[in-house]
Structure 1
Amino acid sequence: MSITQHIEEIWQNIEQASLIRQQRTLEERPVKLVAVTKNHGTEIIQKAIDSGIQAVGENRVQEALSKQPILGRQLEWHLIGHLQTNKARQAVPAFDLIHSVDNEKLALEIDRVAAKFGKRQDILLQVNVAGEATKFGIAPEQLQKLVHFVTELKNVQLCGLMTIAPHYEETETVRPVFRELHNLFVELREARLPNTNIQWLSMGMTNDYQIAIEEGSNLVRIGTGIFGTRQ
């Protein structure tokens, strides 16, 4: 199938999963599709853009910086990979939404850099729901402390939560992970804290995005499902 056909199929799946969610909760929320473009060249990414993709996600700051002069900033640029504190200076002007904030030091540096650029940087807090040692993200029990720290920062706006779920052979096994993050998201949204605009629950990738949407995700990050296996 072509990239256009892949994207059409994904949107159909998103619509079906959203309908299941809506029937269960009576909550209707549109889903944002972020195309994960790591290790893909600008020509193939442009094909996705021509097929309606409006948001792209990169794992590394440098890779985004190399592509932006060609693809432009009219796209939404999302940083979905781990961000080292010393890369915040480059990341803040380059990204509309940083998904992977998981500690106070990084949040503070993003705030400092954003102030220099006269920008209020939108961020998500990455939560390691499953407690995997190989993944970044804050533990759920430490989330509240980080939330309150971030809400004191003037040049950062907390917009929601993100997780990278474990990979299971049986995808249904991942459902409790998504459900737990959704519960944390609802608590955060209902708290109505200052300096927040809680609207994005970023969870779900190629293998599990339909389950993630059924459990409340409204932002999915899909690479292989659009572009095929990375080279």
Structure 2
Amino acid sequence: MSITENLKHIKNTLPAHVTLVAVSKTKPNEDIVEAYEAGQRIFGENKIQEMTDKYEALPKDIQWHMIGHVQRNKVKYMAPYVSLIHGVDSFRLLEEIDKQAKRNNRVISCLLQMFIAEEETKFGLDQTELMEILASEEFKALKNIKVVGLMGMATFTDNQLQVKKEFTQLSGIFAMCKKQFGSEDNLDLNIISMGMSNDYSLAIECGSTMVRIGSNIFGSRNY
């Protein structure tokens, strides 16, 4: 099946409230253009340099999401244009995004990444760290970022019960934060980003409102 057909098929299976991020990392511009012409506007990249090159070459109404691990010294390269940063896993990173957003006269939307998996390789905050950040005066002082939700990656396993447990855990944390913190100038929790090509249906069942799908759209990765 073509990229266009894959996209159409996936979009037909997604509920209206779920946003699709087409993960285009390592994929050539022609593939992105095909998805764009099929109506897709949100693309996810995991390397800032690659995303910036694509941003410069491709239509300007594309929303670029940074879905990979972010190094603080690279934030300045994407600050002029990035739509949403998924993997914010420390307060220091939030501060840097705020600083670079201010330089560009922008407010940059962010998702706080939660550590929900049973794999040590995954990044993210635990529940205590999340609560400490959201309750702190230092966080409230950041005017050029907006935390719009939480993101988490489940353990890479065939054990669906474990994956479901981890997704449900993230949904629970999200609901608790929404209740406890409400919305403020720089906080408006409305996105739970969880689920990828292999587990997005389960993620949606567990409350996901944003899924990151790459290989099911573009075919397997070229490394």
Aligning the two structures, in what range does the TM-score lie when normalised by the shorter sequence?
over 0.9
Match of 2:113 in 1: 126
Question: After superposition, what is the alpha-carbon deviation per residue over 1:174-201, rounded to whole angstroms, capped at 9, x for unaligned?
Answer: 1111111111111222221422121111
| Contact in 2 for aligned 1:129/1:140 (Cα 8 Å) | no
Equivalent-residue separation in structure 2 for 1:69 and 1:110 (angstroms): 20
Equivalent-residue separation in structure 1 for 2:97 and 2:5 (angstroms): 38
Equivalent-residue separation in structure 2 for 1:186 and 1:134 (angstroms): 26
Equivalent-residue separation in structure 2 for 1:172 and 1:46 (angstroms): 37
Q: What pairs with 1:105-184 in structure 2 (closer than 5 Å)?
A: 105-149=92-136, 150-184=139-173
Equivalent-residue separation in structure 1 for 2:114 and 2:84 (angstroms): 16
Equivalent-residue separation in structure 2 for 1:35 and 1:171 (angstroms): 23
Question: Residue type matched to 2:198 in 1?
Answer: N
Structure 1 unpaired stretches of 5+: 16-28
Match of 1:90 in 2: 77
Match of 1:21 in 2: none
| Contact in 2 for aligned 1:3/1:47 (Cα 8 Å) | yes
Tell me by how many angstroms 1:148 deviates. Answer: 2.8
Equivalent-residue separation in structure 2 for 1:76 and 1:171 (angstroms): 32
Question: CA 1:113 to 1:182, structure 2 compared with 1: closer, same or farther past 3 Å?
Answer: same
Match of 1:50 in 2: 37
Equivalent-residue separation in structure 2 for 1:207 and 1:171 (angstroms): 11
Q: How many residues align?
A: 218
Structural RMSD (CA): 1.4
Match of 2:191 in 1: 200
Question: Residue type matched to 1:8 in 2?
Answer: K
| Contact in 1 for aligned 2:83/2:109 (Cα 8 Å) | yes
| Contact in 2 for aligned 1:151/1:193 (Cα 8 Å) | no
| Contact in 2 for aligned 1:32/1:219 (Cα 8 Å) | yes
Match of 2:61 in 1: 74
1:123 aligned counterpart, secondary structure? strand
Tell me by how many angstroms 1:163 deviates. Answer: 0.7
| Contact in 2 for aligned 1:204/1:220 (Cα 8 Å) | yes
Question: After superposition, what is the alpha-carbon deviation per residue over 1:87-146, rounded to whole angstroms, capped at 9, x for unaligned?
Answer: 111122131110111111111111111111111111010001125210111122321112
Match of 1:214 in 2: 205
Match of 1:11 in 2: 11
Which among 28, 33, 36 is matched to residue 20 of structure 2?
33
Counting helix residues as a fraction of each chain, which structure ranks higher?
1
1:182 aligned counterpart, secondary structure? helix
Equivalent-residue separation in structure 1 for 2:48 and 2:204 (angstroms): 27
The share of aligned pairs that are identical, in percent, is 38
Question: CA 1:132 to 1:148, structure 2 compared with 1: closer, same or farther past 3 Å?
Answer: farther
1:221 aligned counterpart, secondary structure? strand
Question: Residue type matched to 1:6 in 2?
Answer: N
Equivalent-residue separation in structure 1 for 2:192 and 2:177 (angstroms): 11
Match of 1:22 in 2: none
Give the TM-score normalised by the residue count of structure 2: 0.93
